[in-house]
């Protein structure tokens, strides 16, 4: 017997057959199709009888306890939603009827891939989930900061998450997609390419939860009191404007403050700087859906705002930090199936799978069916039913009646109400039971190209750099080449930049598209961060580095200018006890220089005395403070005594992002900082 016919330990190896290699359910039943859920027709709803999907998702939902499988690292904030425009013609939802009415909310932001102990600035999708405590029950809008997703069918969700999580044999990498498993899955799943364009863009490394958009991702329905339906996509538009960081900056923030996003939100709300988002809706009818270039049920696609404008109907304000992180942020349970009268689901197969998965997950994570008894999950409106018992039941039916229908007629005996009760939209559904992906889902590259050409040149360079960095962490060359073969179907320039960055000299053949890409879709400015930046420095933070003897008039002018701008100022000093200024006044330190690097600020100012100039210039943390700010394209203000430090840090090549500051021009510097970054510097530095 040869070595090839022996297994571990030298025992004879059994010959394998086709049956041995066949994928099966946990019950041993062979699986014919592991790619698609069972639907009623190609675009019909997912059927509850799909035992293969239910078993797969059931096991996936229960494989982690007690931490969430995904979105484990989150941060929650209380707030309210105020309706600005009533839409009774579109929806019977009570929350949309009365202008000026405020509805309590709880919003949880999160990363997706990392565990609870991972860092905030991972390159990752950000969850953006809001629970509305409406007068007719809880509505959960469970979305992300990116409007599309990796997959089209929830059948593939366990595979996607398994691929991006730490490898099961070695337990790493944590909160990172830069490894073979993830890109192997992506390279074999062309439907994910559009999403990876967003993931490799600056959208995946936001400066703050406060400075990112939110999207409901799926197409939902709005149904009015007469039963008329319109399709809708939900958008959150930050009033603070959009802002991200650069990759090198993200890496250093994770080292300096792994809780950077959490701290930023806490500090802003604690200071009374309450972040706000406008809720917008894209509403369209069957005629638009039938004529749109792509399938509105495909979660890997978006609808450009130029084709269907976003209509603003209300504003979300986050104005209260939690009292207890575990009781509120950790125990909050969001479910996409939590909708109210006037809002309904569609047949999007990813949404249908989420509706099953979320409830199933809460059962395991929160110990039983009574997680709605936990205060953060309980409705704030009256609620009555006959549900009873189970783990940690806090509310049971009173009296002898615990069933329905009944004839007792006791006070408090709940009855169904056809007039105000939830009714599903009576969509006609028919079709052959089958596992198949609709042909209308087959275009995987057109919108990826549209996203790329909608970006500024700087943003395009960042996308190419993101792919280059991530693929450089893949040890297997075939994986890198397969991804390149997909990028060749997106845009030649992107594919060439990534290939050059990887050192690929022989390009692979382009991947064969399932459907020929559309190459003349117009750019959409709404898809760019830099084209939608803020027009002020409000909500941002200036790092003001001071030494003893710094000119008081300059310090006071900067503090006033940035306060007038609505920004925060953090004092950084050589020693934690703070400094004494030229007029004898003092400033307490918020950060010591080696604990307050420039990466945690949006702009910096250096106000030194002549006596401290030489010593500070030789200080390595001070050099890093300046060199990082310069390399990350931040605006820098400085006084004459800081020139030796600028030179030592390699930042003495003065450009339009630098200003010698005085009491007379501090306001000018604050206004200059409204641009957030001096991107012209990046071309010169070629940092990426």
Strand, coil or helix: 357: helix
Does 354 count as an annotated binding residue? Answer: yes
Does 68 count as an annotated binding residue? Answer: yes
Q: What residues are labeled active site?
A: 71, 144
Instruction: Quote the tokens at residue 216.
Output: 């409901």
pLDDT at position 15 is 57
Q: First vs last Cα of the chain: how many Å apart? A: 56
Residue pair 570/590 in contact by the 8 Å Cβ criterion: yes
CA atoms within 13 A on the CB side of 68: 23
Q: Which pLDDT band holds residue 64 (cuts at 50, 70, 90)? A: low
pLDDT at position 18 is 64
pLDDT at position 538 is 97
Predicted TM-score (pTM) of this structure: 0.92
Does 157 count as an annotated binding residue? Answer: yes
CA angle centred on 119, ends 198 and 79, rounded to 5°: 75
Q: In Å, how far are 144, 146, 155, 514 from 158, measured between CA atoms? A: 18, 20, 7, 24
Flag the least confident range among 121-125, 353-357, 508-512. 353-357
Q: Which pLDDT band holds residue 19 (cuts at 50, 70, 90)? A: low
C-alpha 218/C-alpha 336 separation (Å) is 10
pLDDT at position 404 is 84
Does 365 count as an annotated binding residue? Answer: yes
pLDDT one-digit tens code per residue, 633-662: 999 999 999 999 999 999 988 899 999 999
pLDDT at position 9 is 46
C-alpha 661/C-alpha 637 separation (Å) is 6
Q: What is the mean pLDDT of residues 475-486?
A: 98
Strands 102-111 and 126-134: antiparallel
Does 108 count as an annotated binding residue? Answer: yes
Does 358 count as an annotated binding residue? Answer: yes
Write out the E strands in 96-154.
102-111, 126-134, 137-144
Q: What is the mean pLDDT of residues 588-596?
A: 96
Nearest to 615 by CA among 637, 641, 582, 589: 641
Tell me what the pLDDT averaged over the chain comes to.
93
C-alpha 281/C-alpha 383 separation (Å) is 29
pLDDT at position 337 is 92
Q: Which domains does the chain have, with CATH numbers?
A: 63-147+204-373 (2.40.180.10), 537-685 (3.40.50.880)
C-alpha 504/C-alpha 495 separation (Å) is 10
* Residue 86 reports pLDDT greater than 50: yes
């Amino acid at each position: 017997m040869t070595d090839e016919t022996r297994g571990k330990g030298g025992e004879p190896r059994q010959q394998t057959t086709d049956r041995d290699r066949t994928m099966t359910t946990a019950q041993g039943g062979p699986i014919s199709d592991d790619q698609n859920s069972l639907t009623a027709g190609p675009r019909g709803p997912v059927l509850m009888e799909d035992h293969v999907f239910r078993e797969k998702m059931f096991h996936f939902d229960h494989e982690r306890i007690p931490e969430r499988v995904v979105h484990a690292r989150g941060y929650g904030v209380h707030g309210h939603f105020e309706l600005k425009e009533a839409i009774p013609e579109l929806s019977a939802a009570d929350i949309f009827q009365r202008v000026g009415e405020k509805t309590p909310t709880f919003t949880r932001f999160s990363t997706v891939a990392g565990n609870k102990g991972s860092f905030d600035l991972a390159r990752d999708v950000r969850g953006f989930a809001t629970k509305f405590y409406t007068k007719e029950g809880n509505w959960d809008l469970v979305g992300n900061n990116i409007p599309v997703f990796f997959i089209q069918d929830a059948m593939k969700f366990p595979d996607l998450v398994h691929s991006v999580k730490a490898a099961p044999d070695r337990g790493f990498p944590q909160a990172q997609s830069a490894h073979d498993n993830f890109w192997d899955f992506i390279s074999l799943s062309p439907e994910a390419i559009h999403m990876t364009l967003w993931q490799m863009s600056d959208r995946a490394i936001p400066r703050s939860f406060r400075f990112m958009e939110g999207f409901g991702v799926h197409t939902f329905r709005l149904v009015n009191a007469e039963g008329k339906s319109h399709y809708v996509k939900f958008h959150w538009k930050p009033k603070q404007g959009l802002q991200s960081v650069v990759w090198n900056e993200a890496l250093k923030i994770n080292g300096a403050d792994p809780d950077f996003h959490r701290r930023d939100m806490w500090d802003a709300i604690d200071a009374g700087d309450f972040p706000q988002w406008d809720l917008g809706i894209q509403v369209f009818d069957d005629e638009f859906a039938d004529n749109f270039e792509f399938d509105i049920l495909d979660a890997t696609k978006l609808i450009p705002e130029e084709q269907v404008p976003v209509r603003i109907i209300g504003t979300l304000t986050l104005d209260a930090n939690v009292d207890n992180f575990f009781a509120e942020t950790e125990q909050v349970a969001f479910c996409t199936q939590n909708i109210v009268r006037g809002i309904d689901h569609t047949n999007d197969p990813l949404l249908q799978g989420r509706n099953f998965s979320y409830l199933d997950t809460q059962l395991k994570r929160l110990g039983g069916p009574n997680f709605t008894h936990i205060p953060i999950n309980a409705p704030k409106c009256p609620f009555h039913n006959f549900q009873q018992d189970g783990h940690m039941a806090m509310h049971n039916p009173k009296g002898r009646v615990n069933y329905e229908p009944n004839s007792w007629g006791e006070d408090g005996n709940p009855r169904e109400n056809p007039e105000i009760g939830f009714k599903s939209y009576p969509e006609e559904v028919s079709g052959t039971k089958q596992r198949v992906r609709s042909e209308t889902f087959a275009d995987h590259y057109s919108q990826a190209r549209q996203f790329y050409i909608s970006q500024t040149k700087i943003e395009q360079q960042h996308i190419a750099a993101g792919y280059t960095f991530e693929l450089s962490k893949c040890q297997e060359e075939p994986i890198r080449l397969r991804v390149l073969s997909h990028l060749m179907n997106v845009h030649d320039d992107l594919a060439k930049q990534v290939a050059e960055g990887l050192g690929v000299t022989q390009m692979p053949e382009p991947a064969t598209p399932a459907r020929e890409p559309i190459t003349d879709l117009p750019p959409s400015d709404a898809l760019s961060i830099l084209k939608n930046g803020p027009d002020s420095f409000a909500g941002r933070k200036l790092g003001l580095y001071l030494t003893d003897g710094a000119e008081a008039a300059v310090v006071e002018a900067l503090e006033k200018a940035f306060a007038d701008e609505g920004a925060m100022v953090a004092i950084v000093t050589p020693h934690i006890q703070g400094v004494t200024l030229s007029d004898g006044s003092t400033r307490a330190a918020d950060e010591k220089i080696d604990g307050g690097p420039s990466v945690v600020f949006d702009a910096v100012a250096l106000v030194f005395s002549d006596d401290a100039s030489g010593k500070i210039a030789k200080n390595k943390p001070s050099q890093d403070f300046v060199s990082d700010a310069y390399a990350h394209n931040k605006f820098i203000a400085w006084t004459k005594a800081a020139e030796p430090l600028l030179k030592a840090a390699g930042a003495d090549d003065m450009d339009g992002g630098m200003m010698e500051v005085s009491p007379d021009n501090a306001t000018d510097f604050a206004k200059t900082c409204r641009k957030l970054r001096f991107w012209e510097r990046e071309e010169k530095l070629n940092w990426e």
